[in-house]
Each structure stands twice: as structure tokens, then as C-alpha cells.
Amino acid sequence: MPNITPEVTIYTTPSCHFCHMAKEFFKEKNVPYTEYDVASDAEKRKEMIEKSKQMGVPVIIIGNDLVVGFSKPLISKLLGV
């Protein structure tokens, strides 16, 4: 049975070091993701705050799991990589 990668969404800002690290990690692992820049998109910023209950970035959603910040071990586990 093929390994199906869950849908990945990342809420970022251009100046966020951990956001860049997370996106690099996804590229290295060939994990497709949808990115929302919450510095310029007020609607997505509101959505991110509603989902995560805070304003820190990155907020990463993997399938039904929400990760605040860049935790490589946790993200690897959730992605199965």
C-alpha cells in the first residue's frame, strides 16, 4: 500500500527563521504544502489565530494535527518520513 502524505498547510511570515527551516525541510523530503503569509493576509492570520489560539509562527497543520513552531522530530513522525 502506498504511503499517502497527509495534506500540509503552513502559516508563515517572511521574517520567520523557523518558517524558512520548516519549508526547507518539506522541500528536502518532497512534501507538498500550502503556504499562507499571515503578515500580508489578514483573513489567513485570523484563521491561524482561531485554529492555534496564538499568534506565533509557524503554525503547521498536517492532516488533522496542529504543530506550533518547527519541531523536526514531531513533524517527521506526523509525516511518516
At residue 69, the pLDDT reads 96
Residue 31 belongs to some domain of the structure: yes
Give the integer Cα–Cα distance in Å for 76 and 53. 23
DSSP 30: T
Handedness of CA 66, 72, 77, 80 (dihedral sign): positive
pLDDT band at 6 (very low <50, low <70, confident <90, very high): confident
Residue 60 belongs to some domain of the structure: yes
Q: Tens digits of per-residue pLDDT, 22-77? A: 999 999 999 999 999 999 999 999 999 999 999 999 999 999 999 999 999 999 99
At residue 37, the pLDDT reads 98
Q: Which runs of E-coded beta strand occur in 2-55? A: 8-12, 34-37
Domain span at residue 13? Answer: 8-79
Domain count within the chain: 1
Residue 1 belongs to some domain of the structure: no
Task: Please tell me the pTM assigned to this model.
Answer: 0.92
At residue 61, the pLDDT reads 97
Residue 12 belongs to some domain of the structure: yes
1-18 mean pLDDT? 86
Residue 2 belongs to some domain of the structure: no
Q: Supply the CATH number for residue 65's domain.
A: 3.40.30.10
Q: What is the dihedral of CA 12, 14, 16, 17, to 10 degrees?
A: 120
Residue 3 belongs to some domain of the structure: no
